[in-house]
Amino acid sequence: MREQNVVVIGGTGFIGGHLLARLARDGVNTLVPVRQYEAAKHLATLPYLDLEVADIHDDATLRRLFAGRDAVINLVGVLHGGHGDPYGPGFRRLHVELPRRIAQACAETGVPRYLHMSALGANSRGASMYQRSKGDGEQAARSQLQVAATIFRPSVVFGPGDHFLTMFAKLQRHLPVLPLACPDARFQPVYVEDVAAAFAQALRDPHTRGATIELGGPGVYTLAELVRLSGRYSGHERRVLGLPDWAARLQARVFELLPGEPVISRDNLDSMNTDNVVDVQTQALTAGALGIKLTSLEAAAPHYLAPGRGLDDYRERAGR
Query: If pLDDT is split at 50, 70 and 90, which confidence band does 319 have?
Result: very low
The per-residue pLDDT for range 136-145, each reduced to its tens digit, is 999 999 999 9
Distance of CA 290 to the CA centre of its chain: 19
The per-residue pLDDT for range 10-64, each reduced to its tens digit, is 999 999 999 999 999 999 999 999 999 998 989 999 999 999 999 999 999 999 9
Please state, in angstroms and rounded to a whole number, the distance separating the CA atoms of residues 78 and 188.
Answer: 19
Which segments of the chain does DSSP mark as H helices, in order?
Answer: 14-25, 37-40, 59-66, 89-91, 98-109, 129-141, 165-174, 192-204, 223-234, 245-257, 266-271, 297-305, 310-318
Query: If pLDDT is split at 50, 70 and 90, which confidence band does 1 have?
Result: low
SS3 141: helix
Region 85-102: mean pLDDT is 98
Ordered by start, the domain boundaries in the chain are 5-157+190-216+277-293
**pLDDT at residue 309, as a whole number:** 58
pTM of the model: 0.93
Query: Do the strands 186-187 and 221-222 form a parallel or antiparallel pair, or are they unpaired?
Result: antiparallel
> Which of 261, 258, 168 lies closest to 222, judged by CA?
168
Domain 5-157+190-216+277-293 belongs in CATH node 3.40.50.720: yes
pLDDT, averaged across the chain: 93
**pLDDT at residue 257, as a whole number:** 93
Region 69-81: mean pLDDT is 97
**pLDDT at residue 314, as a whole number:** 44
Question: Does pLDDT of 311 surpass 80?
Answer: no
Region 216-245: mean pLDDT is 96
Of 5-14, 205-214, 273-282, the poorest mean pLDDT is in 273-282
Question: Does pLDDT of 315 surpass 50?
Answer: no
Question: Is 226 buried (19+), middle (13-18) or exposed (0-12) by CB count in 10 A?
Answer: buried
Exposure b/e, 127-158, CB count within 10 A at least 16 = b: bbbbbbbbbbbbebbbebeebbbbbbbbbbbb
The per-residue pLDDT for range 103-119, each reduced to its tens digit, is 999 999 999 999 999 99
Please state, in angstroms and rounded to a whole number, the distance separating the CA atoms of residues 239 and 18.
Answer: 33
Question: Does pLDDT of 191 surpass 50?
Answer: yes
Region 72-93: mean pLDDT is 97
Query: If pLDDT is split at 50, 70 and 90, which confidence band does 283 have?
Result: confident
Please state, in angstroms and rounded to a whole number, the distance separating the CA atoms of residues 172 and 186.
Answer: 21
Distance of CA 62 to the CA centre of its chain: 22
Tally DSSP H helices, then E strands, for the chain: 13, 14
SS3 153: strand
Question: Does pLDDT of 184 surpass 90?
Answer: yes
- Cα–Cα distances (Å) from 273 to 124, 130, 223, in that order, read 15, 12, 12
Of 156-165, 239-248, 306-315, the poorest mean pLDDT is in 306-315
Q: Which amino acid is at 56?
A: I
